[in-house]
Chains A and B, each alone.
Chain A
Amino acid sequence: KQEVTQIPAALSVPEGENLVLNCSFTDSAIYNLQWFRQDPGKGLTSLLLIQSSQREQTSGRLNASLDKSSGRSTLYIAASQPGDSATYLCAVSLVSNTGKLIFGQGTTLQVKP
């Protein structure tokens, strides 16, 4: 059974710091991995999607990497800002690609001014 783990559960950093969020999964047979952002009381916003054949994706100050063989993904946030404060979720899609996602518990990030 695929399990997704995110460490740490919570993170507090000063503004301007570069930071890394971690996501690990137990079964390397994934179709893709997606990082989401969730603000309190809101829905999920897709940040980056990495296909199983890719190693990384970049969008602005965000960079996500994927190492399927080791079952790990990282989300790198450069020059963090208070507006980055949110919960970040990673989710894997199974190789059968039925649209089913298995989520980690999330990392709640606070960026202090």
Chain B
Amino acid sequence: NAGVTQTPKFQVLKTGQSMTLQCAQDMNHEYMSWYRQDPGMGLRLIHYSVGAGITDQGEVPNGYNVSRSTTEDFPLRLLSAAPSQTSVYFCASSLRTVGSAEAFFGQGTRLTVV
């Protein structure tokens, strides 16, 4: 069972570069979301999706774009990387069904912007 798969695990970018963090789940979950984790700040929601074709902003969306063309994939795009985006990024997914809304997380992508 693959669960939630994130790639890459590590990435170093130069300021101004763009890149896409990949997230895929094989559990047919409707809900998917992206969080960033920073020391002293905890996990904060960047963007989320309640189904294919539907996305919305979370708490810290600036500098990031998302799209959800399929149920399985939810990529996060950094448009022009900044040092403030140095963080660990987590993708999560969960079912929409009442009583089965347990969230599953990927192993994270550790991003450094220099």
Contacts and interface: CB of A to CB of B under 8 A. Distances in A.
A51 B93 CA distance: 17
Interface residues of A, number: 24
A51 B99 contact: yes
A46 B31 contact: no
| Interface majority SS (helix, strand, loop, mixed), chain A | strand
B43 A103 contact: yes
A102 B43 CA distance: 8
Given A42-B107, A89-B43, A100 B101 contact: no
Nearest to A6: B42
| Interface majority SS (helix, strand, loop, mixed), chain B | strand
A99 B102 contact: no
Given A42-B108, A44-B90, A89-B43, A101 B33 contact: yes
16 contacts: A43-B105, A46-B103, A49-B101, A49-B102, A51-B99, A93-B101, A97-B101, A98-B48, A99-B48, A99-B93, A101-B45, A101-B92, A101-B103, A103-B42, A104-B42, A105-B40
Pairs A-B, 3 closest by C-beta atoms: A99-B31, A44-B105, A43-B107
Interface of A: 31-32, 34, 36, 42-46, 49, 51, 89, 91, 93, 97-106
Interface of B: 30-33, 35, 40, 42-45, 48-50, 56, 58, 90, 92-94, 96, 98-99, 101-108
